[in-house]
């Protein structure tokens, strides 16, 4: 049986807005196995972002459990969560979310700094990753000196810095033109195929979602269907 | 840590103008602190040097209960006291002196000057020992020199005291009596010394129609080589007390060793320094509040950045450290510039004092403990000011911060 990287068991997330309780997630069950490429799709307001926060261990559920590599993370505090995220999950965001004051290379090294990776190792790894995303020439450029596509490639390289067990991509093509978006998607697919990287991608775009092995559809805080 | 330092620098450079403005408060505080302490220490060193030239083996006997300004009820210090002092074992020589402001005339130009008289007898050696090296040219009095004067440096300068500077062997009129100048003092760098005139007890008594030996302002006693001046001072105190028939504690005179005089100057200087440093500290406090304000703004601005860093693995302690280093750096940089300008201000004051005001006592003094202490303090102020903003930053939830636009 394939090993589950992340598993959500009856996960509820409820926000209290004054007296009103808003259930963003209503008992989600989801399992992502090692080596899978899963897309989570849903219209806006469906609970996509909340689900992504749970999968990415950015937040803990109000009810239910989240297991990352069989470890229940639902009860951990902020710093422990950060540690786990840094080690096991690589993030790719819609708006790239690079640190503007740092160069491309420094951005890639940042997750390694938080994991106390020694400097020479950090340097080597960052350079290798820059080569992988074909941006060696741009390693000393800051984000505002790079195009959107280049920034997203730096972000992809950053997500791979600590050899995570899973990459979580939140609308990775949302801020890119279609051509650049496709090339980023191609790159993710290649990563998945050639290196067996586990990828979870959250999107509202069916065409983008189609690139995945499996599509899970969210609606009103519930998973309403899976398609492989 | 090294990487965090680098990140802090990048971040400060990224907000250059604001960083500079923030540093101003710390910069001004440290500038004030350094320049004041530097000049204060310099003054202390200068005074110490001046006193040690007079010798640590001297005792200073003055009427009244305080060496600075005799009280009205004090009994005069007279030749009788001097004789008592001379008889105290361990005292080898004594000299008595007094002074008075009086009218002086040179070539129809009239001025007022401080004229000092001193006993020219067995004590002449002691006088020579204390002041001999301060002569620029000529000599001090020897026995038989009645209407002869030694003058301070300013008298030799054109437009110093008189329009035309005086030379050796020129005449000067003191309170109606003509004196011949036989010695000129070196420049001492303070008005009191540089504008003084010294004459013998004999001449003093004749010119002012008083007996110098009836009213000394000071009797200086030299203690024997190897003797402990403090011990001899006690002995002298006892001897004068007995002679005046006073109880212990009722002394109407004061005896101080050179060291004690230096110490009391030092204490006054320290008090002045502490007061002014306190004012400088207020500026530092204001600077600290400035840093705090900037850091709060920075935390708010970088909410998203904090979220990103937390998402990719930054622990609360990492964020805390990052912001603390940044605020500490603001303090340290402000302090660094403050140290440099502070020493510059002190040097400039020294230059101005020496060349414009003719005050040699103003000296800029610096030491590594002073500089490093100031830098450490500035860094500390920065760090402390950053504690609350940094805590706020570190406690932000990744999921909320990421959503912040």
DSSP-assigned letters across all residues of B233-286: HHHHHHHHHHHHT--TT--SEEEEEHHHHHHHHHHHHHHHHHHHHHHHHHHHHH
Compute the distance between CA of residue A112 and CA of residue B123 in angstroms, rounded to an integer. Answer: 83
Give A-chain residues touching B321 at CB under 8 angstroms: none
DSSP state of B216: B
Compute the distance between CA of residue B371 and CA of residue B366 in angstroms, rounded to an integer. Answer: 7
Query: Residue B197's pLDDT is what?
Result: 92
Tens of pLDDT along A104-159? 999 999 999 999 999 999 999 999 999 998 899 999 999 999 999 999 999 999 99
A97, B304: Cβ pair inside 8 Å?
A: yes
Best mutation target among A24, A62, A90, A114 (most B Cβ atoms within 10 Å) is A114
Tokens of A93: 């965001």
Best mutation target among A56, A79, A94 (most B Cβ atoms within 10 Å) is A79
How many C-beta neighbours within 10 Å does residue A83 have? 16
Tens of pLDDT along B248-292? 888 888 898 888 888 888 888 888 888 888 888 888 888 899 899
Tokens of B285: 């406090």
Best mutation target among A97, A103, A145 (most B Cβ atoms within 10 Å) is A97
Query: Residue A162's pLDDT is what?
Result: 93
A83, B7: Cβ pair inside 8 Å?
A: no
Tens of pLDDT along B168-196? 899 999 998 999 999 999 887 777 888 89
Query: Residue B66's pLDDT is what?
Result: 60
How many C-beta neighbours within 10 Å does residue A195 have? 11
Question: CA of B382 to nearest chain A CA: how many angstroms apart?
Answer: 22
Give B-chain residues touching A102 at CB under 8 angstroms: 7, 10
Instruction: Give the architecture-level CATH label for domain A4-227.
Output: 3-Layer(aba) Sandwich (3.40)
pLDDT band at A1 (very low <50, low <70, confident <90, very high): low
pLDDT band at B33 (very low <50, low <70, confident <90, very high): confident
Q: Determine how β-strand A166-170 pairs with β-strand B148-151.
A: unpaired
The helix/strand/coil state of B121 is coil
- Name the residue of chain A whose CA is nearest to B398's CA: A58
Contact A103, A139 (CB under 8 A): yes
Both ends of chain B: CA-CA distance in Å? 29
> pTM for the full model?
0.73
Q: How many CB pairs under 8 A join A and B?
A: 72
B260 φ/ψ angles, rounded to the nearest 5 degrees: -65, -40
Whether residue A228 has pLDDT greater than 80: no
B14, A101: Cβ pair inside 8 Å?
A: yes
Tokens of A22: 């808003």
Compute the distance between CA of residue B80 and CA of residue B61 in angstroms, rounded to an integer. Answer: 13
Compute the distance between CA of residue A11 and CA of residue B239 in angstroms, rounded to an integer. Answer: 99
Look up tokens 């004459």; give the residue.
B199
A78, B316: Cβ pair inside 8 Å?
A: yes
Query: Residue A17's pLDDT is what?
Result: 86
pLDDT band at B70 (very low <50, low <70, confident <90, very high): very low
Facing residue for B398 by CB, picked from A82, A111, A113: A82
Facing residue for A113 by CB, picked from B3, B308, B398: B3
- Name the residue of chain A whose CA is nearest to B1's CA: A113
Contact B53, B188 (CB under 8 A): no
Look up tokens 């690139």; give the residue.
A211
Residue A77 parent element (H or E): none
Tokens of A152: 């997203």
Q: Which of B319, B311, B320 is nearest to B400 (CA)?
A: B311
Give whole-number Cα distances, B392 to A76, B302, B328, B397, B400, in Å.
20, 12, 16, 10, 13
Question: CA of A148 to nearest chain B CA: how many angstroms apart?
Answer: 18
Query: Residue A14's pLDDT is what?
Result: 92
CA angle B222, B227, B228 (to 5 degrees): 95
Residue A189 parent element (H or E): helix A178-195
Mean of the per-residue pLDDT values of chain A: 91
Contact A88, A95 (CB under 8 A): no
Average pLDDT over residues B198-203: 90
B311, A58: Cβ pair inside 8 Å?
A: yes
pLDDT band at B400 (very low <50, low <70, confident <90, very high): confident
Question: CA of B334 to nearest chain A CA: how many angstroms apart?
Answer: 22
Question: CA of A111 to nearest chain B CA: how many angstroms apart?
Answer: 6
The helix/strand/coil state of B69 is coil
Tokens of B305: 């950045």
Query: Residue B57's pLDDT is what?
Result: 87
Facing residue for A82 by CB, picked from B7, B13, B315: B315
Contact A85, B313 (CB under 8 A): yes
List residues of B whose CB lies inside 8 A of any A CB: 2-4, 7, 10-11, 13-14, 304-305, 308-318, 397-399, 402
Compute the distance between CA of residue A211 and CA of residue A181 in angstroms, rounded to an integer. Answer: 12
Count helices and strands (H / E) in chain A.
7, 10
Give B-chain residues touching A59 at CB under 8 angstroms: 397-399
Whether residue A2 has pLDDT greater than 80: no
ipTM of the prediction? 0.91
Query: Residue A195's pLDDT is what?
Result: 87
Query: Residue A121's pLDDT is what?
Result: 94
The helix/strand/coil state of B209 is coil
Contact B51, B229 (CB under 8 A): no
Question: CA of B290 to nearest chain A CA: how many angstroms apart?
Answer: 23
> CB of A86 within 8 Å of any CB in chain B?
yes
Give B-chain residues touching A78 at CB under 8 angstroms: 310, 316, 397-398
Contact A63, A12 (CB under 8 A): yes
B318, A114: Cβ pair inside 8 Å?
A: yes
Q: Where are the alpha helices (DSSP H) in A68-139?
A: 78-88, 104-114, 119-132
Domain ranges of chain A: 4-227
Tens of pLDDT along B139-149? 888 888 889 99
> CB of A113 within 8 Å of any CB in chain B?
yes
Query: Residue B67's pLDDT is what?
Result: 46
Contact B189, B358 (CB under 8 A): yes
B277 φ/ψ angles, rounded to the nearest 5 degrees: -65, -35
Compute the distance between CA of residue B26 and CA of residue B284 in angstroms, rounded to an integer. Answer: 5
Residue B317 parent element (H or E): helix B316-352
Find residue B27's DSSP bridge partners: none
């Amino acid at each position: 049986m394939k090993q589950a990287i992340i598993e959500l068991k009856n996960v509820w997330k409820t926000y209290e807005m004054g007296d009103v309780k808003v259930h963003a997630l209503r008992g989600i069950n989801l399992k992502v196995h090692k080596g899978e490429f899963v897309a989570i799709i849903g219209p806006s307001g469906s609970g996509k972002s909340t689900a992504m926060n749970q999968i990415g261990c950015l937040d803990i559920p109000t009810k239910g459990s989240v297991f990352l590599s069989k470890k229940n993370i639902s009860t951990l505090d902020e710093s422990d969560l950060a540690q786990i995220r840094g080690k096991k999950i690589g993030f790719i965001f819609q708006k790239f979310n690079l640190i503007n004051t740092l160069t491309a290379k420094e951005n890639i090294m940042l997750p390694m700094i938080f994991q106390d990776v020694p400097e020479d190792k950090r340097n080597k790894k960052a350079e290798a990753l820059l080569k992988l995303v074909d941006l060696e020439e741009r390693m000393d450029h800051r984000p505002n000196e790079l195009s959107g596509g280049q920034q997203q490639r730096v972000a992809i390289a950053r997500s791979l810095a600590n050899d995570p067990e899973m990459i979580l991509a939140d609308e990775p093509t949302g801020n890119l033109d279609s051509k650049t978006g496709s090339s980023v998607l191609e790159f993710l697919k290649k990563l998945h195929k050639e290196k067996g990287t586990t990828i979870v991608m959250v999107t509202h775009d069916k065409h983008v979602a189609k690139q995945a092995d499996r599509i899970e559809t969210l609606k009103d805080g519930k998973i309403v269907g899976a398609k492989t | 840590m090294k990487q965090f330092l680098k990140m802090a620098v990048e971040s400060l450079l990224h907000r250059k103008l604001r960083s500079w403005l923030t540093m101003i408060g710390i910069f001004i505080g440290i500038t004030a602190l350094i320049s004041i302490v530097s000049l204060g220490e310099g003054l202390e060193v200068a005074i110490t040097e001046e006193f040690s030239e007079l010798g640590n083996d001297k005792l200073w006997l003055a009427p009244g209960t305080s060496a600075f300004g005799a009280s009205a009820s004090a009994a005069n210090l007279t030749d009788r006291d001097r004789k008592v002092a001379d008889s105290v074992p361990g005292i080898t020589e004594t000299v008595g002196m007094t002074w008075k402001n009086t009218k002086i005339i040179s070539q129809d130009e009239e001025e007022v000057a401080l004229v000092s008289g001193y006993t020219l007898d067995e004590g002449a050696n002691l006088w020579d020992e204390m002041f001999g090296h301060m002569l620029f040219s000529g000599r001090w009095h020897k026995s038989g020199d009645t209407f002869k004067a030694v003058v301070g440096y300013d008298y030799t300068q054109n437009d110093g005291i008189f329009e035309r500077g005086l030379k050796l062997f020129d005449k000067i009129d003191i309170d109606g009596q003509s004196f011949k100048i036989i010695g000129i003092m070196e420049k001492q760098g303070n008005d009191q010394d540089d504008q003084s005139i010294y004459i013998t007890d004999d001449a003093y008594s004749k010119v002012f129609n008083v007996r110098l030996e009836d009213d000394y302002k000071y009797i200086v006693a030299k203690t024997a080589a190897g003797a402990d001046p403090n011990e001899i001072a006690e002995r002298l105190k006892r001897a004068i007390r007995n002679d005046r028939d006073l109880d212990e504690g009722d002394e109407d005179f004061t005896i101080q060793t050179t060291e004690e005089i230096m110490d009391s100057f030092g204490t006054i200087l320290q008090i002045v320094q502490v007061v002014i440093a306190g004012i400088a500290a207020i500026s530092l406090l204001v600077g600290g509040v400035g840093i705090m304000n900037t850091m709060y703004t920075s935390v708010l601005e970088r909410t998203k950045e904090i979220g990103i860093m937390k998402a990719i693995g930054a622990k609360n302690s990492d964020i805390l450290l990052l912001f603390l280093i940044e605020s500490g750096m603001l303090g340290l940089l402000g302090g660094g510039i403050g140290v440099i300008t502070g020493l510059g201000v002190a040097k400039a004051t020294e230059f101005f004092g020496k060349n414009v005001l003719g005050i040699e006592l103003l000296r800029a003094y610096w030491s590594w403990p002073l500089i490093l202490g100031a830098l450490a303090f500035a860094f500390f102020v920065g760090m402390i000011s950053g504690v609350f903003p940094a805590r706020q930053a570190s406690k932000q939830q990744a999921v909320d911060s990421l959503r912040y636009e």
